[in-house]
Structure 1
Amino acid sequence: MGLIQGLWAMLFGSGRNVVVETAEVFRENAEAGSARAAEIQAQAMQQFGAEFAQARVGWFDRFIDALNRVPRPAMALGTLGLFVAAMVDPIWFAERMQGIALVPEPLWWLLGVIVSFYFGARQQAKTQNFQRDIAVTLARAPLVVENIKALRALRFDSVGAADTGHDSRLAMAAVEPSSNPAIQEWRAARHV
């Protein structure tokens, strides 16, 4: 019994777990890895936030911001322009496409990487803005629910819509006979 107890104390005693420590040599601790990844992500976001916190008021900053907005519309309009050129002058278009056929494959790969990074960054920015908008919308949900309840209470067919409350003049006016000829004729027809 003492041998087994000594073995257990050696493996798991004194606040240490030799099995876990040995396994972590060969495989990363998932929880610690996630904590490190979250810390790195938080630091990167803090750095990006500090970079973009400054207001851009100079002409150069405005020019660069405008220049950054050019590639997407230029590529879309350029592609539409290629379709128009192919229909207007097919021979001219075919000559240009023969030139494109001579572009080496590594250059196509480089173009693909550049375009995917550009659009990937824009997609990430749009996704983050969308998530922020969703959070703002969800924060407004309780107020919207209360407003809908208040509006539904104002409907003519809701319970208590005709209640006069504490207004005695309105209550008396509601029970006072009407001088509407159609209602008088209807009442007379019912009492016959």
Structure 2
Amino acid sequence: MGVIGRFFEFLFGSGRNVLAETAEVFIENAEGAGQREAQARAAVMAQFAGEFALPKKGWFDRFMDALNRVPRPAMAIGTLGMFVAAMVDPIWFAARMQGIALVPDPLWWLLGAIVSFYFGARYQAKGQEFRRDVAGSVAMAQRVTRNLSALDALEGGAEGRPVIQGNPALAEWKREGGEG
């Protein structure tokens, strides 16, 4: 084997590519970078899945969830009922309001604190549920993008418009200034 043959064997032989290995010291390998990025995204999504996973609920949890849905509609319907009662029987309504006027201020404060904590906790729970839903939507974004690209390709191009070659009436309509 000659000198040139040994030189090429040194550069490309024995399953190695010295030129590529040397270049990778200075320039990032795009394929390797893509693999690392995919692994990092998978790790992030696994973390989100673990963080926002819904535990399996038993009958007591389902009952408490149903019970937690009662106060807001009850307060809204009760308030509307007070307006109806005031219009239907003002004397009866005035007697009830006189009883409410006798409630001491500390009891009103306590009621305000209870209602505030209830709605504050509800707001926090709904916020966490919203973040979980957003994380799920972000996870599906790549799949949706691929599906849209595939649908665009099926329709006939990057413009997203159907191919009109087989439809003379549609081709004539486009020539006359229809759509676009």
What interval of TM-score do these two structures reach, taking the shorter chain for normalisation?
A: 0.5 to 0.7
Paired amino acid for 2:140: R
**Following the alignment from structure 2 to structure 1, what is the Cα–Cα distance between the partners of residues 66 and 154?**
50
**Following the alignment from structure 2 to structure 1, what is the Cα–Cα distance between the partners of residues 116 and 136?**
30
Paired amino acid for 1:67: L
**Following the alignment from structure 1 to structure 2, what is the Cα–Cα distance between the partners of residues 66 and 94?**
34
Paired amino acid for 1:145: T
Please, what is the CA RMSD of the aligned residues? 3.6
Q: Match for residue 41 of structure 1?
A: none
Q: Relative to structure 1, is the Cα distance of residues 161 and 87 closer, same or farther in structure 2, using a 3 angstrom cutoff?
A: closer
Q: Relative to structure 1, is the Cα distance of residues 111 and 157 closer, same or farther in structure 2, using a 3 angstrom cutoff?
A: same
* 2:58 equivalent to 1:56: yes
Q: Relative to structure 1, is the Cα distance of residues 136 and 92 closer, same or farther in structure 2, using a 3 angstrom cutoff?
A: same
Higher relative contact order (CA 8 A, sep 6+): 2
Q: Match for residue 150 of structure 1?
A: 150
Paired amino acid for 2:85: A
Task: Give the drift of 1:153.
Answer: 2.6
What's the CA shift string for 1:109-147, capped at 9, x where partnerless?
100000011111111111100000011001111111222
Q: Match for residue 102 of structure 1?
A: 102
- TM-score scaled by length of structure 1: 0.49
* 2:129 equivalent to 1:123: no
Q: Relative to structure 1, is the Cα distance of residues 128 and 80 closer, same or farther in structure 2, using a 3 angstrom cutoff?
A: same
Kindly, what percent of the aligned residue pairs are identical?
63
Q: Which aligned pairs between 1:61-140 and structure 2 lie closer than 5 A?
A: 63-140=63-140
What's the CA shift string for 1:146-175, capped at 9, x where partnerless?
2222222333575796599xxxxxxxxx7x
Structure 2: gaps of 5 or more residues: 1-50, 169-180
When Rg is computed on C-alpha atoms for both structures, the one with the higher figure is 1
CA contact (8 A) 1:153 1:161 kept: no
